[in-house]
Amino acid sequence: MTERDDLRDRKRGPPCPFCDASLYKRHCKYVCPQHGVVIDCSDPFR
């Protein structure tokens, strides 16, 4: 698997609350390309 395949397989999520970049979903977490993990899917207070 190449990096391009990895990017294509990522599911898009909501915008980052810090920079409005498009988050991607990765193993029950939403990840910003600039800030890293910003939302954990198991967080009940989200």
| Model confidence pLDDT, tens digit, residues 1-46 | 455 545 554 567 889 999 999 999 888 899 999 999 988 878 777 6
Domain boundaries, the chain: 3-40
Name the burial class of residue 23, with classes exposed (0-12), middle (13-18) and buried (19+) by CB atoms within 10 angstroms of its CB: buried
Q: Read off the pTM.
A: 0.63
Q: Which amino acid is at 16?
A: C
Q: Which residue has the tokens 């967080």?
A: 43
Q: What is the pLDDT of residue 11?
A: 64
CB 38 within 8 A of CB 23: yes
Cα 14 from Cα 41, distance rounded (Å): 12
The CA distances from residue 31 to 1, 7, 21, in Å, are 20, 12, 10
